[in-house]
């Protein structure tokens, strides 16, 4: 049996329900949700053209990729890293999104939307090494465009463009990444992100603590298994690099390499720092002494006394704020799930302060032979300088936010549903209007019209004279709770036989009282 917490339980009360099958999710700022290159699509995809306005810079434009035999591409297929969503999967996705959004609303966020297309210059230079994953386009009017890579940069552009200096927002929408798909891990080229952000000048660490509280609420309520939320601060990392002798110009490349520590051992990270990023072996060794540390308030106190770090202004600021953050998280009662982890770097260029990432430690999948490994399921951080990049006068709006990895969470819940064999509804129909004899189509049409006009969700079979057994079987197969049966005798007596599909009990209800009786039975 699928076990869901308060958020997912609330989702059961939302319209439509899901059923087993593949899921979709991955939303996230930074490395925890990637996307992928096309394959099997006959429409135009990647071409390289020279853009005169870009000073000879090569621009990616959609062009048809070649489909290898046996790759599953071609007519009748979807591009690699994308997929169709049947009703059951769509219902599950909608319920989960609605449940997560209800948490965002509980914290006072308002919804916004932005175009799926952005100007190329808006996105370039904001994602570090991941810039290469942006889908670049060129429209017929000559504008250099790109598909949005995440929801954070468009939000910053929106704030600057509309001169908004204070906002708490959420945004649920699809984003696109030209990466290699790993669909078994919930990684796609096209996927949903589910973001919550707080913009504005506030006292330190109060909004940051709320973002971490939101992640804790959602992951706890969904009962996905044990998890840990790693936190760090870009200022602490930059301070570490500085005291270890790394030139400032190499802070971002070093940061991107450190970000791989959750996937590869330190020896490989060190090798990349020295061999590819140009750091000295001595500097890499000194970095290794710091970035392999993790703990809580005790570690923060220890680093505040570190003879080198305590002399670095950035590191001292970051550690001071980290200490304050842990004090607030203690008041929220969630520090048992928080780990101060100096290996957390998050590869995006726009982070300026606190960064965090939620990771599932294991899955409680009793019915599945292999545990579902999906890695990070939420991530975010503070980006105080991003809005200023889009403001003509460089005015900054401090921001902090989090993105929930919806696609990956879908992958877990879908497999659980499949293993449990539980059937969930894909429609919201409340009543099936049925007739037991022939030549009663006009009676069905009249009754169903009355139900629709009263706001009741009703269906009927599209045959003139369907067998009653078939109509009742349809109710059981689709989970419709009530059947309103009108036959010759019911018409003569001006009643409707109302049948409870689950118990198979039925009772005659006067026609004029039918609507009220249906509403009474459907009340939670």
Helices (H) and strands (E) in the chain, counts: 16, 19
The pair of three-digit structure tokens given for residue 84, joined into one six-digit string: 């169709």
Q: Would the annotation count 305 as a binding residue?
A: no
Determine if residue 150 is labeled as part of a ligand binding site.
yes
Percentages (nearest 5) of helix, strand, coil residues in the chain: 40, 20, 40
Whether 197 has a binding-site annotation, put simply, is yes
Residues in Cβ contact with 73 at an 8 Å cutoff, skipping those fewer than 6 apart: 39, 40, 41, 65, 67, 79, 80
483: tokens are: 């059947």
Residue 500 counted as an annotated binding residue = no
Can you tell me the distance from the alpha carbon of 493 to that of 495, in angstroms, rounded to the nearest whole number? Answer: 5
The answer on whether 346 is annotated among ligand-binding residues is yes
**What's the Cα-to-Cα distance from 369 to each of 24, 238, 377, 415, rounded to whole Å?**
21, 43, 22, 11
Residue partners of 176: CB distance under 8 A and separation at least 6: 35, 116, 135, 147, 148, 149, 189, 190
| 351 annotated ligand binder | yes
Tell whether 151 is in a known binding site.
yes
Structural contact between residues 413 and 100, judged by C-beta atoms closer than 8 angstroms = no
Whole-angstrom distance, CA of residue 94 vs CA of residue 91: 5
Q: How far is CA 483 from CA 361, 459, 499, 508, in A?
A: 46, 10, 5, 12
| Cα 157 to Cα 148: distance, rounded to the nearest angstrom | 12
Residue numbers in the known binding site are 150-152, 177, 193, 197, 346, 350-351
Annotated binding site for L-histidine: 150-152, 177, 193, 197, 346, 350-351
């Amino acid at each position: 049996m699928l076990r869901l917490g308060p958020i997912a339980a609330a989702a059961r009360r939302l319209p439509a329900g899901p059923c087993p099958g593949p899921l979709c999710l991955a939303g996230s700022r930074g490395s925890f949700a990637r996307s992928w290159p096309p394959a099997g699509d006959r429409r135009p995809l990647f071409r390289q053209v020279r853009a005169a306005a870009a000073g000879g810079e090569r621009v990616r434009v959609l062009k048809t990729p070649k489909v290898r035999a046996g790759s599953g591409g071609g007519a009748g297929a979807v591009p690699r890293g994308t997929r169709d969503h049947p009703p059951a999967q769509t219902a599950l996705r909608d319920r989960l999104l609605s449940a997560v959004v209800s948490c965002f609303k509980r914290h006072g966020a308002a919804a916004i939307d932005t175009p799926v297309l952005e100007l190329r210059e808006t996105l370039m230079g904001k994602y570090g090494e991941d810039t290469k994953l942006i889908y670049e386009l060129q429209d017929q009017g000559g504008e250099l465009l790109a598909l949005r890579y995440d929801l954070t940069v468009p939000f910053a552009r929106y704030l600057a463009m509309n001169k908004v200096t204070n906002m708490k927002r959420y945004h649920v929408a699809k984003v696109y990444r030209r990466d290699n798909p790993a669909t078994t891990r919930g990684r796609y080229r096209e996927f949903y992100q589910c973001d919550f952000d707080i913009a504005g000048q506030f006292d330190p660490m109060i909004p940051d603590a709320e973002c971490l509280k939101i992640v804790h609420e959602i992951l706890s309520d969904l009962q996905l298994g044990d998890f840990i939320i790693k936190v760090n601060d870009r200022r602490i990392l930059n301070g570490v690099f500085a005291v270890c002798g790394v030139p400032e110009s190499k802070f971002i490349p070093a940061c991107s390499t450190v970000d791989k520590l959750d996937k590869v051992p330190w020896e490989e990270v060190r090798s990349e720092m020295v061999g590819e990023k140009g750091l000295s072996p001595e500097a890499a060794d000194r970095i290794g002494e710091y970035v392999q540390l993790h703990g809580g308030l005790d570690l923060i106190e220890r680093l505040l006394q570190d003879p080198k770090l305590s002399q670095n202004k950035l590191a001292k600021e970051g550690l001071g704020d980290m200490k304050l953050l842990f004090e607030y998280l203690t008041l929220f009662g969630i520090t048992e799930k928080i780990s101060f982890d100096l290996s957390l770097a998050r590869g995006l260029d726009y982070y300026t302060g606190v960064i965090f990432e939620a990771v599932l430690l294991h899955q409680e999948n009793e019915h599945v032979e292999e545990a579902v490994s999906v890695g990070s399921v939420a991530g975010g951080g503070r980006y105080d300088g991003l809005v200023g990049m889009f403001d003509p006068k460089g005015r900054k709006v401090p921001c902090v936010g989090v993105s929930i990895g919806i696609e990956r969470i879908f992958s877990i819940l879908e497999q659980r549903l499949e293993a449990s064999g539980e059937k969930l509804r894909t429609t919201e129909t409340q009543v099936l209007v049925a007739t037991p004899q022939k030549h009663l189509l006009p009676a069905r049409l009249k009754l169903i019209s009355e139900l629709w006009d009263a706001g009741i969700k009703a269906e009927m079979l599209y045959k003139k004279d369907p067998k009653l057994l078939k109509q009742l079987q349809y109710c059981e197969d689709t989970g419709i709770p009530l059947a309103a049966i009108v036959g010759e005798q019911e018409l003569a007596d001006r009643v409707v036989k109302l049948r409870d599909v689950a118990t198979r009990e039925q009772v005659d209800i006067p026609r004029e009282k039918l609507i009220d009786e249906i509403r009474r039975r459907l009340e939670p």
